[in-house]
Amino acid sequence: MKFAVQVLEAPYNNQASDTAYHFIKAALDKGHTIVRVFFYHNGVINANNSAEPPNDDRNIYKRWTELGKEKGIDIVACIAASKRRGIKEGQIVEGTRISGLGQLADMTIEADRLITFG
């Protein structure tokens, strides 16, 4: 099955980002495909490279970077939501890109299911 994943919440506010990450890992382990991850609304904060969580805490930003690079998953942060939150192209984690809502529409067309977290 092909999944499109949308994340609407910032990391560390609630479990949405963590749950999305673990869902994706489990889906990939079961042989499913992740069409794209789309960060929208406060979810774009997941792509902000200026955050530095304490060493004894999970690093959600690093997790998304590794997932994008190691698994080749297309991770996109909404450009309008990013601009509203002061996140620019040079401020996003490696393996993530900023683009428009067309990416969200395309992934919902290509995927069998859209899963939203947050």
Structure tokens at 79: 């450009």
CA angle 22, 25, 30 (to 5 degrees): 125
Going edge to edge, which strands form the sheet with 113-117?
A: 96-99, 75-78, 33-39, 2-7, 113-117
Is position 85 annotated as part of the catalytic site?
Answer: no
Active-site entry in 27, 78, 81, 98: 78
Of 21, 26, 35, 22, nearest to 108 by C-alpha is 35
Q: Which residues are catalytic?
A: 78
